[in-house]
Structure 1
Amino acid sequence: MISEKDLPKYVPVEFAEPDFPGVNGSASGFVTLPDPLVKSFDTPPGSGGSYTAMTPLWGTIPPTNGNQYFDAVNEAIGTDIKFQISDGNTYGDKLAAVLASPKDVADWVSIPGWNVPPRFGQAVDSVFEDLTPHLSGDLVEEYPFLANIPTEAWKSCSWNGKLYGLPFPQDVGVSNYTFYRPDLLPDAELPTNADEVIEFAQAQTKDGLYGSTDLWATATTMFGVPEKWKVGDDGKLVHKVETPEYRAALEWHTKLYASGAVHPDAVADNGGDGGQRFEGGQIALLSTGVGYWHEATTRNRGSNPDWTMAPLPVVAADGGDPVLYKAPGAAICSYLKKSDDDGAIKELLEAANFLAAPFGTEEFQLVNYGVEGLHYNFDAAGTTVPTALAQTEVQPSYIFLVDPPVVNAKVALPDYVAASSEWTARNSEFLIEPPFYGMNITEPNRFASLSQPFDDLEKDIVRGRKSMDDLDKAIDTWRTSGGDDLREFYQKILDENPGLAGS
């Protein structure tokens, strides 16, 4: 576990006053783009070096040669970053192949948390640069925009007590919950506990319409199910499937399915067009990622200015305050290839500092939207409107190397900014750190698929194909098939790190 003294010192900077200040780490909200934007760099910080960067992309890969967006950002940095972009859906396989041959590793490599290769913790020091001597403590102040990144994000990029990665920060709050349509149900009395959620879904199930899709993610949130481990009153670790919270969430979800309110596609374990049906008013409750809120609102407002969606209030199953577990501070970390050239490492860190320029700066605008007049224009409301060229050239790329703190700045939808900022701010009051928060732990390979049977079992139980007795049998099998050994593996780490998050 990395010590506090080895983490970069947090020195926040702000170039624009938020309309909705963040609370306990939630993202600040902005309903307008600052005018004028602040120019943070009088001259390019780079030294003219040229480096390769490997990143994922979930979309159409842009041309890397003759791309005016890449050319403009590289010129502003003063460093030539040549991208090697791969399909995000198969990026994990590409990473594993590249890291198996260190000579093929790019100078700067983006690694999503869900694509970290097996045994990465044992190999990271031989392939990537230890950034602790460059960024720990006060040293990070040489790079003020890196110092502006919250401490939690840096923890996600540490291994074996050292700092190796540069973070892509993410919101640490609720990432998946249940939404409804206030425009279609303006007088709805919203549920205030788990039982009322079922009643609400049943009340909307009529005339060929259905109350909900699958709500398992919401069930685990309402009942406070830990992501993996919980520390018992005796200081010993309890796996989530052994907790009363997990059992209660599964029993509640089974009741929801038995109520007849769940759409047949979900019952058949086929997500189908749940989002499309929700947007069309055929499903009252949709469980989905919080990012969908903005995407769907943007998609529908053009044809229907009154179209609105909103999340249900986050409550505990009994109607009290929820127990919400913090997500990792960074979803993705990038790593610099190990080098004896200190000048090259410093130049890449200067480039990272540029890319971490926060909202309200010209540099943020350039990295995220390209060149004004070429890749975007401003409309009468001050909203950034992409050009046709932007659709081809400006794809997420630099942000996967490093990114500034998360902000809620969807200025084209001020009502969305207000509602989502207030919702996340309220939720942040109930966030707690789970055990091992901020630690990257490489489990032995023999435990890789240990919990997989529970994914199928959850589906079978809620659909009535299996019972809670089957859950008890599965837990016994889990314990004897390696679960108790895995517990011992983590308990040793817990005992060796007094005061560890969540303990």
Structure 2
Amino acid sequence: MSLSGRRLGTSPPPRRAKETSMSTLGTRRTAVRRTLAIVGAVSAAALVMSGCGSADDNGTTVASSDGAIDDASLPAYVPIDAIEPDFPGVDGSPSGYLTVPDELVQGFDTPPGSGGTYTAMTPLWGTIPPTSGNSYFDAVNEAMGTTINFQISDGNTYGDKLAAVLASPKDMPDWISIPSWNVPPRFGTGVDKLFEDLTPYLGGDAIKDYPYLANIPTDAWRACSWNGKLYGIPQPGEGNLGNWYFYRDDLLPDAELPTNADEMLQFLKDNTKDGHYGSEDPWTVAQIMFGVPDKWTVGDDGQLINKFETDEYREALEWTAELFASGAVHPDAVAGETASAKQRFESGQDVVMGDGVGYYSEALTRMRATDPDFSISLMPVFAADGGTPVLYKTPAAGICSYIKKTGDEDQTKEILTAANFMAAPYGTAENRLITYGVEGEHYELDDNGVPVATALAQNEIQASYIFLVSPPAAIAKTELPDYVEKYTTWMADNVEYLTEPPFFGQNITEPSQYAALGQPFEDLASDIIRGRKSIDALDAAIETWRTSGGEELRAFYQDILDGQEQG
């Protein structure tokens, strides 16, 4: 599944955070439970789920934040390469591997668990495998020394299931996966009553007791913090980059690639010929090119400026409108048809498309099955003015898992020990087991040492453990060596341009009355770039935003920002 559109707030079902070494699996790649009562958890859950929070003088529900987690409370980052990568990662960017290791590193000589049995609730976008009588789960449980009994739910309706479970905390599973787009309203006000505070177990050097968890980059842990404390365990993404421009390098092998917005406009116009169009709708990536902040930026006076108020946002709109007017955008994209955008790009109807970087391997895997010469590449990153690019970091983890609060230190430690096992990196026997199952049962090795799934794996193995925790991404699609090299070097090259937006890594629950303030801008942008409205309409929209709650929302965030600076 692609990351398309996630940079600007949409949240499609997650794809695997870790690339593996074979495409043959396809979508198949995939102490007795405690029942201690949680003091006060029922009322906390009612608060979380019912929307009852504090209220202002008008009775309007409001929200607040106790600030970002401080560096001392974050887990220490101690990177581990089980095997030497061909293309090492840089500051959290993914490493690349061109071959399957001949010998796997054995991370654990004996099962590390204490024999406990726990339940874990996770989503799945695919066919749910049997959770009992499953030899794959049995093998992993045996190797861990801890039994994890999965409760797997359809990812498309997972939010509804999650809400019901959190409303009855006494009956909650021991370990729960919560995607960021399924976090319920006012979760931050009740998280400390529902889930264990993991800061004492994992903060600072304490995480070194769990070395594979310490291998997860710091930014991923930030995404799992609430109110200055660490509550979740992350599924780290592939660095902090979201979307960029892809181009058909097979159709344009000798292209002189653009280095600024003017050159990009001319490039797309020049390549609208011979039955090809320059691009699909580039609006999402155009904003990145112009350095538009994700939501807020801080002015020279220390005051917050909303993205819609920035010069960069206006310039991105004007540039995109000029591109649309030039005729270089595919007519179906002009008409607003997006469902077939990838198909149009892959068939050569247009030569450039903006999308989530995860699309790269998906497109190559799909298309090279029938066309070995098919090729795409990510363009080098550039700024609209040709200067230094500004890439705002995206959340480094989109899914976190949480341990039910019981006050039982031994239980918490055993679940963390299991998480440490699950986070074993590429090149370890444990990672091979979790990814492919048992050799001879769930996979066989081909002549190149690549695991090939058996019929049993097709029935028993689906992505499961990664929704609780996963190791840092390893780009190891050995059947796509060009992708491995180009993608990992592209990610490493762009690390220097990353910058943290205000409130990066801080989970903040906005006052609910402001939830729809930004929607009119999405509709207006579509009209402006297609020439249905002039850029002057933006000024009226900004004024309406300010008088309809935007100033109050700004004040809400300004209070948090000022509090952080004072702290």
Q: Shared topology, TM-score over 0.5?
A: yes
Equivalent residue of 1:429, what SS? helix
- Counterpart for residue 236 of structure 1: 303
Alpha-carbon shift at residue 495 of structure 1 (Å): 0.8
Tell me the distance in 1 between the aligned counterparts of 2:84 and 2:71: 29
Q: Equivalent residue for 1:36?
A: 103
Q: Residue 24 of structure 1 contacts residue 429 of structure 1 at CA under 8 Å; is this kept in 2? A: no
Aligned with residue 62 of structure 1, among 125, 129, 152:
129
Equivalent-residue separation in structure 1 for 2:179 and 2:141 (angstroms) = 23
| Deviation for aligned residue 1:339 | 0.8
In structure 2, C-alpha distance between the alignment counterparts of 1:14 and 1:485, rounded to whole Å:
48
Alignment partners' CA distance in 2, 1:321 and 1:57:
40
Answering whether residue 351 of structure 2 is matched by residue 306 of structure 1, we say no
Q: Could you report, residue by residue, the CA deviation over 1:296-339 in whole angstroms, capped at 9, with x for unpaired residues?
A: 11112232222211011110012222100111221111000111
Does the 8 Å contact 2:442/2:455 carry over to 1?
yes
Q: For 2:448, which of 361, 377, 381 is the aligned residue?
A: 381
Q: Which moved more, 1:121-130 or 1:69-78?
A: 69-78
Equivalent residue for 1:362, pick from 405, 413, 429: 429
Matched residue SS, 2:565: coil
CA contact (8 A) 1:143 1:350 kept: yes
Q: Which residue is equivalent to 1:212?
A: 279
What is the DSSP-based 3-state SS (H/G/I as helix, E as strand, rest coil) of the residue aligned with 2:178?
strand
* Matched pairs, number: 500
* CA contact 1:158–1:165 (8 Å) conserved in 2: yes
Say if 1:265 and 1:272, in contact at 8 Å, map to a contact too.
Answer: no
Determine the structure 2 residue equivalent to 1:7.
Answer: 74
Alignment match of 1:428 (pick from 483, 487, 495): 495
**Stretches of structure 1 lacking an aligned partner (at least 5 in a row):** none
In the alignment, the residues of structure 1 paired with residue 374 and residue 449 of structure 2 have an alpha-carbon distance, to the nearest angstrom, of 22
94-103 vs 341-350, which moves further:
94-103
**Deviation (angstroms), 1:165:** 0.5
- Which of 270, 273, 278 is the equivalent residue of 1:203? 270
The offset of 1:207, in angstroms, is 3.9
Residue in 2 that maps onto 1:82: 149
Shift of 1:202: 2.0
Alpha-carbon distance, 1:242 to partner: 0.5
Deviation at 1:389, TM superposition (A): 2.9
Q: Aligned equivalents of 1:480 and 1:293: distance in 2? A: 42
**Whole-angstrom CA distance in 1 between matches of 2:131 and 2:467:** 16
Indicate the residue corresponding to 1:452 in structure 2: 519
Residues in 2 aligned to 1:274 and 1:61: alpha-carbon distance in whole angstroms: 29
Is the 8 Å Cα contact of residues 198 and 259 (structure 1) preserved in structure 2?
no
**Mapped partners of 2:445, 2:260: distance in 1:** 44
Deviations 1:200-232 (A, max 9, x none): 222222344322111112101110010011000
2:249 to 182, 192, 211: 182
Q: Who is 1:273 aligned against?
A: 340
SS of corresponding position for 2:554: helix
Decide whether the 8 Å contact of 2:94 with 2:239 is kept in 1: no
- 1:176–1:287: 8 Å Cα contact kept in structure 2? yes
SS state at 1:167 partner:
strand
Written as runs of structure 1 = structure 2, the 5 A alignment for 1:49-448 is: 49-448=116-515
Q: Within 2, Cα distance between the matches of 1:279 and 1:377?
A: 32
Task: Please give the alpha-carbon distance, in whole angstroms, between the structure 2 residues aligned to 1:247 and 1:394.
Answer: 48
Aligned letter for 1:67?
A: N
Aligned equivalents of 2:528, 2:179: Cα separation in 1: 32
* Corresponding residue SS for 2:444: strand
Q: Deviations over 1:320-376 (max 9, x none)?
A: 221001112211110001113222111111100100111110001111122222222
Counterpart code for 1:304: D
Q: Confirm or deny: 8 A CA contact 2:196 2:407 kept in the other structure.
A: no
What is the distance in 1 between the residues matched to 2:566 and 2:488? 32
Q: Which amino acid aligns with 1:28?
A: S
Residues 453-491 of structure 1: CA deviation (Å, up to 9, x unaligned):
111111111111222122111111111111111111111
- Pick closer, same or farther for the CA change 1:147–1:24 going to 2, 3 Å: closer
Contact 1:55 1:397 in 2 (8 A): yes
Query: How far, CA to CA, are the matches of 1:396 and 1:296 in structure 2?
Result: 20
- 2:240–2:396 CA contact under 8 A, matched in 1: no
How far apart, in 2, do the equivalents of 1:234 and 1:369 lie? 54
Provide the rounded CA distance (Å) in 1 between the counterparts of 2:211 and 2:563: 34
In structure 1, the partner of 2:29 is: none
Shift of residue 104, structure 1, vs aligned partner: 3.4
CA–CA separation in structure 1 for the residues paired with 2:540 and 2:253: 46
Distance, in Å, in 1 between the alignment partners of 2:182 and 2:339 is 26
Counterparts of 1:115 and 1:300, CA distance in 2: 32
Alignment partners' CA distance in 2, 1:192 and 1:391: 46
Quote the RMSD (CA, aligned, Å): 1.6
- Percent identity between the two aligned chains: 64
Between 117-126 and 450-459, report the one with greater CA deviation: 450-459
Check the 8 A contact 1:171/1:327 in 2, yes or no: no
Aligned position for 2:54: none
- The Cα shift of 1:192 comes to 1.8
CA distance, structure 2, for counterparts of residue 257 and residue 392 of structure 1 = 48
> CA contact under 8 A between 1:8 and 1:136: conserved in structure 2?
yes
Unaligned runs of at least 5 residues, structure 2: 1-67
CA distance in 1, matches of 2:208, 2:240: 28
Q: Give the TM-score, by structure 1 length.
A: 0.96
Q: Secondary structure at the match of 2:536?
A: helix
- 1:142 maps to amino acid: D
What is the CA distance between 1:279 and its match in structure 2?
A: 1.6
Q: Which residue identity lines up with residue 339 of structure 1 in the other structure?
A: T
- Distance in 2, matches of 1:455 and 1:249, equals 13
SS at match of 1:75: helix
Q: Residues 173 and 427 of structure 1 are in contact (CA less than 8 Å); yes or no, is this contact kept in structure 2?
A: no
